[in-house]
Amino acid sequence: MDLSSFDGDEAYQARYTKVQRRRNKIAAAIGKLGDISFDADKSGPGYEELRHSVVGNKQAWIAERGLISLPLAHPKLMDFLLALGTSPATAALQPVVTTLKAGQRRISHELGLRYRGRHCAFITGHDPELTGLSPARLHMDQSQRLALADGMDTFDLMVPGDAYKASWSSGEVQVAYHAAPLTPRGWLHCTVYIRLLRPLARLAYRHTPARLRQVVMPLVQALSAK
């Protein structure tokens, strides 16, 4: 999303389509749980506490759907995020955790990374019990408006290119992965696994019922971590 094309919050809100205005109904539903507030923490105890909530909610969402994320499961992820939170205010890369609340209940979170005017929505998560209310849509609206108010010129929804992200975006950048084998073992990995086995595994994964994935994926994740 190109934020530099908006003069301010009023111009930003004028861009909304009929579908995106559903956020008003979402806000009304969430508002029944308590007064809605939106806060940001960029360092200190608040950031340290919230980063656990962001990752924890995302991990719960992934497990509920029988998905797998090796980066989120990596044991050094939390240390990495904590180190970011202690970086000096003058550092080019700055983390920011935003929280949507209804009363005192935390509804959704986003851990964003800001770098030279670009806000990257790195990890998003929400209360698993409230998935049906679509809190992420309302959070996305608030997060983009905050980025605009903070002087960001780009809001990057990052990979993968899910359909819902296209409804927010004003453009896209193609992303490609490259693997260059340097050893015979690397050649086998690139040729046998990446080109043959991985596509077949992804195809089988997409056609596997969620309940079966909930059983199999934790085992795959455990084996991959070894």
Instruction: Give mean pLDDT, residues 108-136.
Output: 90
pLDDT (0 to 100) of residue 175 = 87
Contact 54, 123 (CB under 8 A): yes
pLDDT band at residue 48 using 50, 70 and 90 as cut-offs: low
pLDDT (0 to 100) of residue 100 = 93
Residue 34 has pLDDT above 80, yes or no: yes
Residue 226 has pLDDT above 60, yes or no: no
Residue 133 has pLDDT above 70, yes or no: yes
CA distance 222 to 79: 20
Instruction: Give mean pLDDT, residues 188-217.
Output: 83
Q: Which residue has the higher pLDDT, 36 or 83?
A: 36
Residue 111 has pLDDT above 70, yes or no: yes
Instruction: Give mean pLDDT, residues 22-27.
Output: 82
Instruction: Give mean pLDDT, residues 99-126.
Output: 91
DSSP codes of every residue in 59-99: HHHHHHTT---HHHH-TTHHHHHHHHHTS-TT-SEEEEEEE
Return the SS3 of 185. helix
Residue 137 has pLDDT above 80, yes or no: yes
- The rounded percent of the chain whose pLDDT value lies above 70 is 90
Instruction: Give mean pLDDT, residues 9-36.
Output: 83
Q: How far, in whole angstroms, is CA 187 from its chain's centroid?
A: 33
Residue 178 has pLDDT above 80, yes or no: yes
pLDDT band at residue 86 using 50, 70 and 90 as cut-offs: confident
pTM assigned to the model: 0.79
